[in-house]
Amino acid sequence: QVLRRACVSGSWGDTDRAVPYFPFIRDQPFKIELHCEQSRLRGFVDGHKLFDFLHKVLPLSDIDTLWIKGSLTITKLA
């Protein structure tokens, strides 16, 4: 699953689970890009758009956590 959720003013919003496809294949490398915009977070996997998440977090500097759950190895953060 690819889940998105935002905590705004101490309260968690609804979980967004909708994706047009599941992009991950066991033991295959992948590249995730997250583009944080004023009102949304855009997610791309291997250059293909996976989701737009309306986060409602302002200012953007309040976004300080990304949680990844699962068995994977992160090889680069940029």
The answer to whether residue 10 is domain-embedded is no
pLDDT at 77: 85
The verdict on residue 38 lying in a domain is: yes
Residue 74 domain-assigned (yes or no): no
Both tokens of 78, joined, read: 């940029």
Structure-token pair, residue 53: 């998440």
In a domain, 35, yes or no: yes
Residue 69 belongs to a domain: no
Greatest alpha-carbon pair distance for the chain in Å reads 38
In a domain, 49, yes or no: yes
**15 lies in some domain:** no
What is the predicted pLDDT for the residue at 78? 80
Q: What is the pLDDT of residue 59?
A: 87
- Domain that includes residue 53, residue range: 30-63
The sign of the CA dihedral 24, 43, 18, 7 is positive
What pTM was computed for the model? Answer: 0.83
pLDDT one-digit tens code per residue, 11-67: 999 999 999 999 999 889 999 999 999 889 999 999 999 999 998 888 888 888 888
pLDDT at 17: 94
Total number of domains in the chain: 1
